[in-house]
Amino acid sequence: MKHRKNSGSESKWYLSTMFRTPNYRELLILCVIAMGMAGYLIYLMSLNYKPTEESKKFIQAESHGIHPRVNNMCDDTDLKHFPNESVDFRGFNNYTGYPSGCYVVPDIVHLIKFNQDEFNFIEMICIASILINHKPSRLMIHTNMFRFHGKYWTAIKRLPNFDRIRVVYLSKPKSIFGHSLENKYGSWHSSDIARLKLIQTYGGIYFDSDVFVVQSMHPYRRFEFGLEWNYHMNLGNQVLFGHKDARVIPHWLETYKQYNGSLWYYNGGELPTQAVLYYKPELIHRVRDKFGTDVKMLTYLYSTKDWAWQEYHVIHLFSRHQKYIFNESSVLNYHEFPIKQMILSVMPDYMYPTLEETGALP
Ligand SMILES: *[C@@H]1O[C@H](CO)[C@@H](O)[C@H](O)[C@H]1NC(C)=O
Ligand SMILES: *[C@@H]1O[C@H](CO)[C@@H](O)[C@H](O)[C@H]1NC(C)=O
Ligand SMILES: *[C@@H]1O[C@H](CO)[C@@H](O)[C@H](O)[C@H]1NC(C)=O
Ligand SMILES: *[C@@H]1O[C@H](CO)[C@@H](O)[C@H](O)[C@H]1NC(C)=O
């Protein structure tokens, strides 16, 4: 109460200064306020890829373990370090991880949301699937927007474990090695780059906004870096997990020296598969048929009965590649195919249409 009264009289004070010549002291105060605001804006803009103090502390506690093996994270007895403090992964076993079975990847999930301040139904469902089926210690939503709004953001705020979500400012990369990203596919390509740099900054697990989490991702946190790379295919970059010092990331970023903005998946998948993974397969833990990054998911998810989706860890829903518009009421009218079961397995009670809305009341 007291506080509110104070701020009320303060605003009167500002008003009065507007109608007469301010004296020296008032000008000084206004200057200080203006400088403070400018400083804050510059700070927001400079957050680009730099972890905030809070997340730094969190990552340090997670990855170095002030006490031995906090949450089974690997500590100094498991890891070797270079003089510059980055982890020396030479000799790392990409098949088993460290013999002690400790985790190298911090339990942080990263999502990227560039140029959109609203969520759609499927994005809300996918966030619910992360919070319910993986339960990360942190879910970071990296965005160049200043605030989110809309019906599905309101729904997200009511999800269980919403308190683990942090919205973090991240500006959209505009160029790479002097190649501009302002082209037809630019907004997708800048997200391809940003996801690698996020893992390089924080470590953790990256999901595209239409990736549905079926089971916990903890078993993958034992590896330096990994992704799904099926037989006879290019790698899938919709799901990535890794330590910030993973050796494959600089190699992958290096391929952007040959950036081709007119090709959709050249630098996102084709080139890193051919130029990095073929030659250095030991740098990743290769996942096969567990992340649903193959386009055959379209058939399985949207038009196949009795497909065992529960056996996957995560599934890319390819939601932009199919035509049905899913929302909390239309999903109820969909055929009994896996996508419907998956959505309803995490759709919160408060999303179900009321009897009134479905017209079931007289
Ligand atoms: C740290 O040193 C190693 C070995 O020289 C090098 O490979 C790595 O890129 C360095 N890391 C950083 C962040 O400079
Ligand atoms: C990009 O790929 C297209 C199609 O293969 C090719 O015609 C074009 O020359 C490439 N551009 C660059 C800059 O390599
Ligand atoms: C581990 O690396 C080897 C190459 O050393 C590769 O052939 C194999 O597929 C990788 N295994 C996994 C599980 O990623
Ligand atoms: C759901 O989508 C259908 C079909 O596009 C539309 O008619 C309906 O109004 C939508 N309902 C909600 C609650 O958004």
Mean pLDDT lowest among 59-63, 314-318, 333-337: 59-63
Cβ-proximal residues to 267 (8 Å cutoff; 6+ apart), any chain: 189, 192, 255, 256, 258, 259, 260
Distance 156 CA to ligand 2 centre (A): 41
With a Cβ cut-off of 6 Å, ligand 1 is lined by: 82, 84, 86
Q: 327: Cβ below 6 Å to ligand 4?
A: yes
User: What pLDDT sits at residue 76?
Assistant: 86
HSE-CB for 79 with a 13 A CA cutoff: 27
From CA 259, how far away is CA 268, in angstroms rounded? 10
> What CATH code would you report for 108-351?
3.90.550
> Given a cut of 90, is residue 285 above it in pLDDT?
yes
Asked if residues 328 and 121 have their Cβ atoms less than 8 Å apart, the reply is yes
Which ligand 1 atom is the nearest neighbour of the CA of 85? 1
Distance 234 CA to ligand 2 centre (A): 19
User: What pLDDT sits at residue 9?
Assistant: 43
User: What pLDDT sits at residue 358?
Assistant: 75
User: What pLDDT sits at residue 26?
Assistant: 76
Token duo for residue 194: 């940003």
Distance 276 CA to ligand 4 centre (A): 45
Which ligand lies nearest to the CA atom of residue 257 in the structure? 2
Which ligand lies nearest to the CA atom of residue 244 in the structure? 1
Asked if residues 212 and 291 have their Cβ atoms less than 8 Å apart, the reply is no
User: What pLDDT sits at residue 335?
Assistant: 96
From CA 337, how far away is CA 212, in angstroms rounded? 15
> Given a cut of 90, is residue 58 above it in pLDDT?
no
Read off φ and ψ for residue 148, nearest 5 degrees.
-100, 155
From CA 338, how far away is CA 324, in angstroms rounded? 14
Please state, as a whole number, how many other Cβ atoms lie within 10 Å of the Cβ of residue 76: 10
From CA 191, how far away is CA 74, in angstroms rounded? 29
> Given a cut of 60, is residue 214 above it in pLDDT?
yes
Domains of the chain, by residue range, sit at 2-47, 108-351
For the whole model, what pTM was predicted?
A: 0.83
Q: 329: Cβ below 6 Å to ligand 4?
A: yes
Q: 330: Cβ below 6 Å to ligand 4?
A: yes
Q: 285: Cβ below 6 Å to ligand 3?
A: yes
> Given a cut of 80, is residue 68 above it in pLDDT?
no
Q: 358: Cβ below 6 Å to ligand 4?
A: no
Which ligand lies nearest to the CA atom of residue 290 in the structure? 3
User: What pLDDT sits at residue 56?
Assistant: 57
Q: 95: Cβ below 6 Å to ligand 3?
A: yes
Residue nearest to atom 7 of ligand 4 (CA): 330
User: What pLDDT sits at residue 55?
Assistant: 55
Most confident of 42-46, 340-344, 354-358: 340-344
Distance 242 CA to ligand 3 centre (A): 16
To 5 degrees, how large is the angle CA 288–CA 277–CA 279? 135
Q: pLDDT for 8-44, tens place per residue?
A: 444 444 444 444 565 777 778 777 877 877 766 655 5
Asked if residues 283 and 94 have their Cβ atoms less than 8 Å apart, the reply is yes
Read off φ and ψ for residue 356, nearest 5 degrees.
-60, -45
> Given a cut of 80, is residue 198 above it in pLDDT?
yes
Mean pLDDT of 260-264: 94
Average pLDDT over the chain reads 88
Pairing of strands 138-143, 108-113: parallel
Share of residues in the chain with pLDDT > 70 (%): 85
Asked if residues 318 and 259 have their Cβ atoms less than 8 Å apart, the reply is no
Candidate from 260, 264, 265, 266 with most ligand 2 atoms within 8 A of CB, to mutate: 260
Which ligand lies nearest to the CA atom of residue 184 in the structure? 2
Mean pLDDT of 100-122: 97
Share of residues in the chain with pLDDT > 90 (%): 75
Q: pLDDT for 309-320, tens place per residue?
A: 999 999 999 999
Q: DSSP secondary-structure letter at 50?
A: P
Alpha helices in the chain (DSSP H): 2-18, 24-45, 53-63, 121-129, 151-157, 186-202, 248-254, 271-272, 297-303, 338-346, 355-358
User: What pLDDT sits at residue 2?
Assistant: 40
Q: pLDDT for 123-144, tens place per residue?
A: 999 999 999 999 999 999 999 9
Angle at which helix 121-129 crosses helix 338-346, to 10 degrees, equals: 70
Candidate from 49, 80, 84 with most ligand 1 atoms within 8 A of CB, to mutate: 84
Q: Collapsing DSSP states into helix, strand and coil, what is residue 316? A: strand
Residue nearest to atom 14 of ligand 2 (CA): 260
Distance 285 CA to ligand 3 centre (A): 6
> Given a cut of 70, is residue 53 above it in pLDDT?
no
Candidate from 95, 96, 229, 240 with most ligand 3 atoms within 8 A of CB, to mutate: 95
Distance 283 CA to ligand 3 centre (A): 8
Residue nearest to atom 7 of ligand 2 (CA): 262
- Find where tokens 């809309």 sit: 150
Cβ-proximal residues to 352 (8 Å cutoff; 6+ apart), any chain: 328
From CA 78, how far away is CA 243, in angstroms rounded? 14
Task: State how far the alpha carbon of 324 is from the alpha carbons of 99, 327, 334, 340, in Å.
Answer: 47, 10, 9, 12
> Given a cut of 90, is residue 228 above it in pLDDT?
yes
Q: What's the chain's length in residues?
A: 362
